[in-house]
């Protein structure tokens, strides 16, 4: 297993809360966010990066200020979050490297893409605590992964040279020749296999899809060893995600990186409406999420920090 350097460990501590658990608000989506704001493709394409940036700023102000970290993209959200004083000084910042969407191979595999001209040095220049890379993986199809593993290794090596924390995420997906039922049965093994690929590539912190059950979460924890992993929300409804978080945290996960399950029905192009819904809907959800994390999280010995009381 790859071990964090002192610099990386310091950054990891900063994306965690006082209890040592990750609680990261994800709003690095672009295409998915546009699809929530408008149903018509032409209307979606008319939504500017500036408009998305304003929504991400509101999510940062209302949600991330109550969490330990925010994950944003380098296209719409920064450097404005820092330059305009929106992100709180004690809120950590992760910047995603992956471009929105994917390319299709002739065989129907998803080929991941990177945002142009954004590497570890650029992430540091933007004032971030670290970066995040997401690739698509089908661990049961070796040919599907060659391009994406190359991207993964490239990013991991780049961040290691810069001695900057990189959170590694993967998503799995249904192939055209699979039914929904066939794919669903494979999810636990696909998440396990994708995790194994990421670890073999040198991942030091993982952001993973829910693997399907408490036992599958326990299997991931055993596989990951000392590498901390956070469960992602994948846009499921809030009640479902709370159950998934309870499963993951009770079986050794180190936290949560959550986005759409918190804010997907709160955002709109009307900023006043967005702010009102974030405050009335998303913040209570975040409080419930924090309570589940607090209930189940047990910090590993190497992540615990000494509490000093000043009198």
- The pLDDT tens digits for 62-100 are 999 999 999 999 999 999 999 999 999 999 999 999 998
φ, ψ (nearest 5 deg) of residue 296: -110, -20
Give a three-class secondary structure readout of 112-175.
CCECCCCCHHHHHHCCCCEEEEEEECCCCCHHHHHHHHHHHHHHHHHHHHHCCEEEEEEECCCC
| Cβ atoms of residues 161 and 120 within 8 Å | yes
Question: What mean pLDDT, rounded, does the chain reach?
Answer: 93
- CA within 13 Å, CB half, 300: 17
Please tell me the predicted confidence (pLDDT) of residue 300: 64
For residue 290, CA distances in Å to 26, 278, 293 come to 15, 16, 5
| Cβ atoms of residues 267 and 37 within 8 Å | yes
DSSP label of 98: B
Residue 227 has pLDDT above 90, yes or no: yes
pLDDT digits over 247-266, tens only? Answer: 999 999 999 999 999 999 99
Residue position matching structure tokens 């990951």: 224
Report the share of the chain in percent with pLDDT over 90.
93
| Rounded-to-integer distance, Cα 134 and Cα 150, Å | 12
| Rounded-to-integer distance, Cα 88 and Cα 121, Å | 22
| Rounded-to-integer distance, Cα 303 and Cα 214, Å | 23
Residue 199, Cα to own-chain centre: how many angstroms?
Answer: 17
Q: Pick from 214, 135, 205: which is nearest to 166 by CA?
A: 205
pLDDT digits over 206-224, tens only? Answer: 999 999 999 999 999 999 9
Q: Pick from 286, 225, 50, 24: which is nearest to 131 by CA?
A: 24
| Cβ atoms of residues 244 and 231 within 8 Å | yes
pLDDT digits over 10-33, tens only? Answer: 999 999 999 999 999 999 999 999
Residue 302 has pLDDT above 60, yes or no: no
What number is the average pLDDT over the span 124-140?
A: 97
| Structure-block tokens of residue 9 | 């460990």
Residue 172 has pLDDT above 80, yes or no: yes
Please tell me the predicted confidence (pLDDT) of residue 46: 94
């Amino acid at each position: 297993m790859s071990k964090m350097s002192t610099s990386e460990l310091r950054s990891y501590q900063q994306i965690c809360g006082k209890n040592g658990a990750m609680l990261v608000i994800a709003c690095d989506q672009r295409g998915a966010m546009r699809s929530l704001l408008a149903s018509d493709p032409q209307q979606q394409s008319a939504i500017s990066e500036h408009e998305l940036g304003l929504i991400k700023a509101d999510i940062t102000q209302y949600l991330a200020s109550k969490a330990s970290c925010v994950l944003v993209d380098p296209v719409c959200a920064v450097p404005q979050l820092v330059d305009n004083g929106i992100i709180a000084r004690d809120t950590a910042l992760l910047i995603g490297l992956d471009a929105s969407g994917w390319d299709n191979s002739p065989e129907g595999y998803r080929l991941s893409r990177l945002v142009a001209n954004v590497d570890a040095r650029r992430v540091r220049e933007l004032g971030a605590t670290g970066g995040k890379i997401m690739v698509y993986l089908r661990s049961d199809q070796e040919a599907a992964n060659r391009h994406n593993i190359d991207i993964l290794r490239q990013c991991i090596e780049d961040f290691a040279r810069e001695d900057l924390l990189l959170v590694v995420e993967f998503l799995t997906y249904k192939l055209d020749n699979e039914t929904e039922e066939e794919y669903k049965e494979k999810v636990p093994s696909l998440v396990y296999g994708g995790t194994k690929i990421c670890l073999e590539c040198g991942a030091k912190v993982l952001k993973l899809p829910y693997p399907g059950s408490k036992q599958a979460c326990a299997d991931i924890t055993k596989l990951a060893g000392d590498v901390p992993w956070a469960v992602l929300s994948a846009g499921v409804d809030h009640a479902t995600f709370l159950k998934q978080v309870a499963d993951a945290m009770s079986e050794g996960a180190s936290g949560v990186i959550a986005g759409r399950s918190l804010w997907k029905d709160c955002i709109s192009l009307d900023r006043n409406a967005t702010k009102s819904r974030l405050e009335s809907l998303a913040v209570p959800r975040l409080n419930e999420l924090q309570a589940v994390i607090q209930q189940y999280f047990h910090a590993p010995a190497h992540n615990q920090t000494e509490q000093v009381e000043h009198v």
